[in-house]
Structure 1
Amino acid sequence: MATGLLMLAMFTVCYTLLAKTLSNGILTAPILFIGFGFFMAQTGLMPLAEAEHLLHIVAELALIILLFLDAAQINLQALRKRHQWPLRMLVFGLPLAVVFGTVAAAPFLSAYPLIVAALAAALLAPTDAALGQAVVTNKAVPERVRRALTLESGLNDGLALPVILLFASLTAEVMHQDTTNWLLFGTKQLVFGPLVGGIIGAVGGILFLAAKRRKMTTATIEGIGAIAMAGSAYLAAGMIDGNGFISAFVAGLFFGNVIKGQCAFIYEFTESEGQMLAWGAFFLIGLALVPEAIAHLDAATLAIILISLFIVRPLAVWLSLAGTDAAPLTRIFFGWFGPRGLATALFALLVVDQIDHEIGEQLLILAVNTVWISAVLHGVTAVPLAKWYGARMSEREGAAEMVEVPPMRPELPAD
């Protein structure tokens, strides 16, 4: 175990030394850490049983904190006024992806009730900003496009979670015929979680601002307090049968919109400690889950994954942006760069123990295989396609300026 941890530490150091160089190529951090985890699983230097237990801890911690911090960076007022593209992809694209994904997965999961296909589609709907870093940080891509992808990927995992929990509850209900208990449980999860999170986030934001005005705290200590607040929202919701993850997301949403960008630690943590959590989770997924998932990857599972990546999301995004000023090439670009990452794997881990064991294992295999396949496909295409897309959009803008027809007569002054 010690040897394996030493190798992981050395690998991480080597990656940080080459991070800027690697960011210009096809080897992204998720690919490398998943790959290194898979390699370590083959060596036997890290016990898989302990890795699986550690994965649950790191996965829950990463999800709680990243949901809170992602939500805290969302300006709801600005989102309504200036961010039409991500709003349309969230409000229309995400539900369409679940509907299309259900239709696509149903023939391959015909041995199970239809709700299982719906749950599979919901698990594959969220996208991951960590896998899209090579795109959203690439200056060749127009700023508006990068901002839209960042906002969408930051929000859609929190919005997909209630749907996933609802479908998981319905799956358990159908399989066990325990309607009353599961409906009551699902209702509590979807009502008490947001309620607790909203109260904690709003009150916490007010208290933070009051302490800041009175100079009773410092930026470093504020950061620790905010992370503790995310944990408080998660634990408090669980104590009254609410969903802790939804609670953490809503707490971050309320907190961020109360403080209105006055706490810089949120962005700093996301760029540093948040990255470490994500890398650790990707490593543990590669170590504990990918070997078994690959061993059970069959034609039906692969078909669902490829249809989800190449057809379901692109079609859902294309339709959701109909009637906007998004160019056809931009709509295609948005449709492809929706990589599946931590949210897909962690949500599958979350529901696997709540439903029938056979179905849970099947969905976990589907989710994990989707993550590593998406990491590879989106990773190797991120930099070259971002540069190509940026160049094409620049050419298009330049051509539009060149063909602008001069007025036939001098324009009259505006009234």
Structure 2
Amino acid sequence: MDVALWSVLIGLLLIVMALGGTVLARLPLSTAMLYLAVGIAVSPVLLGWTGFGPLTHTVLMERLTEIVVLVSLFTAGLKLSHGLGDRRWLLPLRLATTSMVVTVGCITLAAWTLLGLPIGAAVLLGGLLAPTDPVLASDVQVQEPGDRDQLRFALTGEGGLNDGTAFPFVMLGLGLLGLHDLGTLGWRWIAVDLVWAVAAGLAVGAGLGIATGRLVLYLRREHKEAVGLDDFVALGLIALAYGIALLLHAYGFLAVFAAGVALRNLVQRESGPADESRDAVEKATALPDRSMAETLAVDRRHAPAYMAHAVLGFNEQLERIGEVAVVVTIGALLWAVPWQADVLWFVPLLLLVIRPLSVAIGLAGSTTARPRRWLIGWFGIRGIGSLYYLMYAVNHGLPPALADRLTGLTLAAVVASIVVHGISVTPLMAAYERRVAARP
């Protein structure tokens, strides 16, 4: 396809989304559904402007999805303003651990017994499809720092955590297929891939988030320096946390999410009254004259809130651009996916049975109200994270026959999730918010 046509297409798409975003927010549609339709339109199914398949540019796809997920994870962490001692953290922790294990187990059992996959490929499929997506789930996540809604907090925290906690199962599946060293009786998988990689990833991210935030605030408060270029702070912290975690053989996804959470918690501790600082920063940044905003950037009380506001705003825009790129690409490669009839029952099993069951088990005994449990069980959105793990497995030597099979199953789950969750998110969340607002 000619570069000029791509430019016209992308330009029109972005301008249409900018002009019609508020209208779309009131309709039973999601932006991802429109991006997916555009991707299908430019593929050989309709216009034929592209002709690549899901397994022809796997390294490029791995890197693209990796970057988008990293930005989204950091953004999710920045939105979670509740302190780590807040009981709201119990829900995402239970969802990212207990519910994650149950999901992987159920998918593995179904893939092994009903799909006839070897046990390694079945476990790998569980690792691919168990994590919920932090990118495509933005409509059901925390909308802004300070949002105390239990449902949105649980889904945001789960999406941030389980994109990292799924990695051990991906490595286990690759190991059972002979593509990764598990060690005798699995000792290396337990010690390195499970315990060390998770703990080190969280520690690296939290440490860097706190250290970077303290350094920036010190320079701004004490010396009136390091003002501006908050986008560089965001990108630098993401890259630093991810790179150091990988060098230490830890999970970079967890490190980046932890960095965002740590930075947000530092801002809370260092700020004045949260609502007062946030309101002051929002009013100042809305003014055409930047002098007030620059004053708040170095103010002892408001500097933390200013930094968090600037970093979060930049990351949210970057996340939206990444979503456009990846979802359009998914739509463009669907024409070449090796579809199987198994997806007709496997995808409904995943979304309608396994997800609600895993949430019910993970939240058993909690005080979460039944409507919230039902919505958490429904909004187990699959998306870009699953595509990243698929490309990661393919690039680590997944046999072609298994690669074709898992590609069809994974993309079927992702596309189905984009459609059914995209249609349902607006009416369901509107009904939920009316119910919450009606409470005394």
Q: Do both share a fold (TM > 0.5)?
A: yes
Q: What is the percent sequence identity of the aligned residues?
A: 25
Contact 1:67 1:248 in 2 (8 A): yes
Contact 1:171 1:355 in 2 (8 A): no
Specify whether residues 385 and 28 from structure 1 end up closer, same or farther in structure 2 by C-alpha distance, changes over 3 A only. same
Contact 1:51 1:287 in 2 (8 A): no
What are structure 2's unaligned runs of at least 5 residues? Answer: 270-303
Partner of 2:328: 283
Counterpart CA distance in 1 for 2:85 and 2:348 is 31
Counterpart CA distance in 2 for 1:247 and 1:285 is 27
Partner of 2:39: 37
Q: Does 1:217 align with 2:219?
A: no
Give CA deviations for 1:176-207 in whole Å, capped at 9, x if unaligned. Answer: 88857x97699656636626545544432332
Contact 2:359 2:377 in 1 (8 A): yes
Counterpart CA distance in 1 for 2:89 and 2:330 is 34
TM-score between the two structures when normalised by the length of structure 2: 0.76
Partner of 1:272: 317
Deviation at 1:227, TM superposition (A): 0.9
Partner of 2:150: 144
1:90-105 to structure 2, matched below 5 A, reads 90-105=96-111
Partner of 2:243: 235
What are structure 1's unaligned runs of at least 5 residues? Answer: 399-415
Q: Does 1:206 align with 2:214?
A: yes
Deviation at 1:162, TM superposition (A): 3.7
Contact 1:39 1:287 in 2 (8 A): yes
Deviation at 1:33, TM superposition (A): 0.6
Specify whether residues 247 and 387 from structure 1 end up closer, same or farther in structure 2 by C-alpha distance, changes over 3 A only. closer
Contact 1:136 1:149 in 2 (8 A): yes
Secondary structure at 1:339's aligned position in 2?
Answer: coil
Give CA deviations for 1:58-86 in whole Å, capped at 9, x if unaligned. Answer: 22221222223323444573464344433
Match of 1:209, as an amino acid?
L
Give CA deviations for 1:110-168 in whole Å, capped at 9, x if unaligned. Answer: 2412x322221222122224433444589xx993323333333233223323433x324
Specify whether residues 153 and 246 from structure 1 end up closer, same or farther in structure 2 by C-alpha distance, changes over 3 A only. closer
Deviation at 1:307, TM superposition (A): 0.7
Contact 1:135 1:383 in 2 (8 A): no
Match of 1:66, as an amino acid?
S
Deviation at 1:311, TM superposition (A): 0.4
Specify whether residues 185 and 204 from structure 1 end up closer, same or farther in structure 2 by C-alpha distance, changes over 3 A only. farther
Q: How many residue pairs get matched?
A: 388
Secondary structure at 2:131's aligned position in 1?
Answer: coil
Give CA deviations for 1:312-369 in whole Å, capped at 9, x if unaligned. Answer: 1111112222223323333222211111111111222122222422323322322222
Which piece of structure 1 moves more, 54-63 or 11-20? 54-63
Between structures 1 and 2, the one with greater helix share: 1
Match of 2:49, as an amino acid?
L
Give CA deviations for 1:379-415 in whole Å, capped at 9, x if unaligned. Answer: 11122233344556677x58xxxxxxxxxxxxxxxxx
1:291-310 to structure 2, matched below 5 A, reads 291-293=335-337, 296-310=338-352
Specify whether residues 110 and 35 from structure 1 end up closer, same or farther in structure 2 by C-alpha distance, changes over 3 A only. same
Match of 1:387, as an amino acid?
A
Give CA deviations for 1:243-300 in whole Å, capped at 9, x if unaligned. Answer: 4444433444444444448332232124322211122211122223x2223xx22122
Which piece of structure 1 moves more, 141-150 or 370-379? 141-150
Match of 2:374, as an amino acid?
I
Partner of 1:366: 409
Match of 1:131, as an amino acid?
L
* CA RMSD, 1 decimal: 3.4
Match of 1:368, as an amino acid?
L
Q: Does 1:62 align with 2:68?
A: yes
Partner of 2:425: 382
TM-score between the two structures when normalised by the length of structure 1: 0.80
Secondary structure at 1:273's aligned position in 2?
Answer: helix
